[in-house]
Amino acid sequence: MQIRISDDALAVACGADAVAHRFAEFGHDVVRTSSWGMHWLEPLVEIDGIGYGPAAAADVENILAGKADAIRIGRIAEHPFIAAQTRLTFARAGWTRPLSLEDYAATGGWGGLKQARALSAEAIVEEVTRSGLRGRGGAGFPAGIKWNTVRLAPGTRKYIVCNADEGDSGTFADRMLMEGDPFMLIEGMAIAGLATGADKGFVYIRSEYPHAVAKMRAAVRLAAPLIAPFEIDVRVGAGAYVCGEETSLLNSIEGKRGEVRAKPPLPAHDGLFGCPTVINNVLTLAATPFVLAKGARAYADYGMGRSRGTMPVQLAGNVKHGGLFETAFGITLGELVEKIGGGTANGRPVRAVQVGGPLGAYFPPALFDTPFDYEAFTAVDGLIGHGGITVFDDSVDMAAQARFAFEFCAAESCGKCTPCRIGAVRGRETMDRMIAGERTADNLTLVADLCETMKFGSLCALGGFTPYPVMSAITHFPEDFDARGQAAAE
């Protein structure tokens, strides 16, 4: 009998350690694995392929006695939430032990690096370009083009920087990948090194992710001989959301304030310590071992339009079946929220979903037929960002959410440009006045003006994208803004 329980941070936060401990008290060995990503079922206990979740320490005796039907979910690998996915990046999730080099190699690990070692730098870049892989961190910039720029840039020192500063609410794919399959990220970085001529990489992880930091550090130590002469250093952020912006992240690694740098110069020419630098998100780098091992074609076959491959969608907030759902681009937002996510956790109607983190737009159910695809989202004034979907029920106050967007921007602004630094504060104040029922129409115009200024006058996404949540809330949920004015006028 093999008992498996994830040691992913979410499982642990839900009590997985206590459950594992209880099994040990009954004399059983527990294998700690990566998470399947079915977060509503964590802690999820797997015994010979059969799942029980969410399991508490008090359930252990019943599970062992075969009397835990209430939490028995059947064969995990066949669970509808798992069976409906296309898992390329998260193919190992749930199956392997995160820090086991044996498990990694036995499941095809290092295959991409082996291929890459047999190719020229140019050929590796060519393969990544043909796969259509785009940066998964937000902007969706083609990875191959970025790599090629660094490959061709003059200079003997070059760097690969992995942006693991996943600060967006509603996103956790980077965290899960680093905690569940850290060698794949390491392999991806080593491939990027070969492709560009860099022999040093940094993984910059936010300090809010101590479990991911510990796992990555351990994994880097274990994998060091296998990726040599390429070397990786793990660096920890210090609580600044703006460091998820690539140029401020570079400043932060250099030991400076995490202020955004003006572009150009592009990091690909003049990046870390002034050297040509590839800076990619965790999921982007982690997708490249597959591309190299299985070929560009195999990857490009998934997806729709110019959005190739798969996207690990993260279902979060007030959602019944929250967790990680990897799927080819093209599935609709409504399918994700209602069918896969099962609607809200508390059974109330879904009123709004925010896609793409705190800088992403809010959508009403009326837009649920929007396909999950970069271009389709742009067409409805939204962003996919890092693929997080946060669900709200009908009790949400959209004026409060719009206010929060400004508040968040004000709290996290790096202060370099005026529209962001001052605009966010003014925006919050204006929202406050509006919420108090003061001159609604005038204040709304003012907010719209301010958003326009922030959008065009900000140096980076923090100031430039705050208008997305604000304006989408106003556009799609006007009743939350107007009603106050009417109530105050009466």
**Footprint of ligand SF4 (CB under 6 A):** 242, 260, 413-417, 420-421, 458-460, 462-464
Q: Which of ligand SF4, another protein, none has residue 463 at its interface (CB below 5 to 8 Å by kind)? A: ligand SF4
Distance CA 260, CA 274 (A): 15
CB of 249 to ligand SF4, least distance (A): 12
Distance CA 374, CA 139 (A): 9
Contact window for another protein (CB under 8 A) among 8-16, 102-110, 153-161, 189-197: 8-16
**Residue 255 within binding range of another protein, rule CB under 8 A:** yes
Where in 125-154 is the site for another protein (CB under 8 A)? none
Beta bridge partners of 134: 142
**Residue 14 within binding range of another protein, rule CB under 8 A:** yes
Residue 381, Cβ neighbours under 10 Å: how many?
15
Of 286, 361, 7, the closest CA to residue 136 belongs to 286
**Residue 363 within binding range of another protein, rule CB under 8 A:** no
Contact window for another protein (CB under 8 A) among 61-69, 78-86, 172-180, 459-467: 172-180
Distance CA 358, CA 351 (A): 17
CA within 13 Å, CB half, 106: 9
Of 133 and 435, which CB lies nearer to another protein in the complex structure? 435
Q: Which of another protein, ligand SF4, none has residue 168 at its interface (CB below 5 to 8 Å by kind)? A: another protein
Q: Can you tell me which of 98, 317, 334, 467 binds another protein, judged by CB under 8 A?
A: 317
Of 107, 21, 9, the closest CA to residue 56 belongs to 21
Q: Which of ligand SF4, another protein, none has residue 421 at its interface (CB below 5 to 8 Å by kind)? A: ligand SF4
Whether the upstream peptide bond of residue 43 has omega within 30° of 0, thus cis, is: yes
Q: Which of ligand SF4, another protein, none has residue 72 at its interface (CB below 5 to 8 Å by kind)? A: none
CB of 39 to another protein, least distance (A): 4
Beta bridge partners of 72: 52
Contact window for another protein (CB under 8 A) among 97-105, 136-144, 151-159, 231-239: 231-239
In the sheet that 45-47 helps form, which strands lie side by side, from edge to edge? 30-33, 3-6, 45-47, 50-52, 72-75
In Å, how far are 231, 417, 418, 440 from 404, measured between CA atoms?
41, 20, 19, 18
Of 87, 89, 92, 123, the closest CA to residue 106 belongs to 92
CB of 470 to ligand SF4, least distance (A): 14
Of 169 and 332, which CB lies nearer to ligand SF4 in the complex structure? 169
Q: Can you tell me which of 302, 377, 392, 477 binds another protein, judged by CB under 8 A?
A: 392
DSSP 224-266: HHHHTT-EEEEEE--S-GGGGSHHHHHHHHTTS--PPPPSSSP
Residue with tokens 């946060």: 390
Distance CA 476, CA 348 (A): 19
CB 312 within 8 A of CB 287: no
Helix (H, G, I), strand (E, B) or coil at 327: strand
Of 43 and 464, which CB lies nearer to ligand SF4 in the complex structure? 464
Q: Which of ligand SF4, another protein, none has residue 271 at its interface (CB below 5 to 8 Å by kind)? A: none
CB 344 within 8 A of CB 418: no
Q: Which of ligand SF4, another protein, none has residue 456 at its interface (CB below 5 to 8 Å by kind)? A: none
Q: Which of another protein, ligand SF4, none has residue 417 at its interface (CB below 5 to 8 Å by kind)? A: ligand SF4
Of 273 and 456, which CB lies nearer to another protein in the complex structure? 273
Q: Can you tell me which of 241, 374, 377, 406 binds another protein, judged by CB under 8 A?
A: 241
Q: Which of ligand SF4, another protein, none has residue 151 at its interface (CB below 5 to 8 Å by kind)? A: none
CB of 248 to ligand SF4, least distance (A): 7
Q: Which of another protein, ligand SF4, none has residue 260 at its interface (CB below 5 to 8 Å by kind)? A: ligand SF4
Distance CA 292, CA 91 (A): 15
Binding footprint of another protein on the chain (CB under 8 A): 9-10, 12-14, 39-40, 42, 166-172, 174-175, 207-212, 235-241, 252-259, 273, 314-319, 322-323, 345, 354, 358, 388, 390-393, 396, 401, 404, 408, 412, 414
